[in-house]
Structure 1
Amino acid sequence: MSNFTHSLGIAASGMEAQAMRLRHVSENIANADTPGYHRKITSFKSVVERGETTGEVRLGDVKLDPRELARILDPGHPMADENGYYDGSNVDLVVEIADAREAQRSYEANLRMFDQARQMSQSLLDLLRR
């Protein structure tokens, strides 16, 4: 049974990591029009216990995208400089939507793996009860 619980733990960690990634992607989309906003970039790291990888993943450090902010010409904007420009954000909505779709699909794959391991575990218990 420990292999089944280990499989459940791996799938659950993947779902949790993808849910957090989707949260950061959502924040990026929500702040796409916020002046001075830097896109958040997420990464994953393997969980290591007693010097060995467990197969589980966690969300790594969240970093800000170092790309330059878009310069927007709008002389009437309250944040505009003497030339009429202000710093926009460096969020690309096409990239964010693609990242959101990838996170969603990865979450669904982990959910299917979790459900499959749960069903196999239940089938084994049913066989042992007979």
Structure 2
Amino acid sequence: MSLFKIFDVAGSGMSAQSLRLNTVASNMANADSVASTPEAAYRARQPLFAAVQREMLAGRGAADDDGTGVQVLGISESEAAAPSRYEPGNPMADSNGYVYGSNVNPVDELVNMISASRSYQNNVEVMNSTRQLMQKTLDLGK
């Protein structure tokens, strides 16, 4: 693996963690939202990732064209039930006086945010270390 490949892998990891942080922010922004039906209530979302390591076969393409890194497979929604609260005075209440809240757990989201932030920082460190290694390698030729 060339040193330039490390930039590709770390860059895809940073992109994935950025998406994860945006998803957490969306979940946190909607944590206190309510709806008039359980189907309309906001559901917590989580990105789905996969590690990708595809190398091109000899003669079919350059080795630098492989797709190594993190691939985003999509965004999944939580299947947990939407909690209901009896609030007959709420304008969003159904005919029985219930509103349905989001199934977002703020504590889980904060843990997820810290984890994504640290993973992003680790990828930045990998890129910085690789850059320094390349610079020192070039300095050897002087």
Structure-2 change in CA distance of 1:38 and 1:51 (3 Å): farther
- 1:25-104 matches, within 5 Å, as 25-35=24-34, 36-50=41-55, 54-104=67-117
Give the equivalent residue in structure 2 for 1:11: 10
Whether the 8 Å CA contact 1:80–1:86 is kept in 2: the answer is: yes
Structure 1 vs Structure 2 CA RMSD = 1.8
Report the more deviating stretch, 96-105 or 34-43. 34-43
C-alpha deviation, 1:48, in angstroms: 4.5
Which one-letter code corresponds to 2:70 in the other structure?
A: V
Q: State, as a whole percentage, how many aligned pairs show the same letter.
A: 34
Larger proportion of helix: 1
Q: Deviations over 1:50-83 (max 9, x none)?
A: 5798540022210111110011221111121233
Structure-2 change in CA distance of 1:92 and 1:51 (3 Å): farther
> 1:50, 1:119 → 2: CA distance?
26
Give the equivalent residue in structure 1 for 2:22: 23
> 1:50, 1:8 → 2: CA distance?
16
> 2:69, 2:80 → 1: CA distance?
31
Matched residue SS, 2:2:
helix
Which one-letter code corresponds to 1:104 in the other structure?
A: S
> 2:31, 2:56 → 1: CA distance?
41
> 1:61, 1:114 → 2: CA distance?
26
Matched residue SS, 1:118:
helix
Q: Give the TM-score normalised by the residue count of structure 1.
A: 0.90
Matched residue SS, 1:82:
coil
Q: Give the TM-score normalised by the residue count of structure 2.
A: 0.83
Provide structure 1 residue ranges, at least 5 long, that are not aligned to the other structure.
none
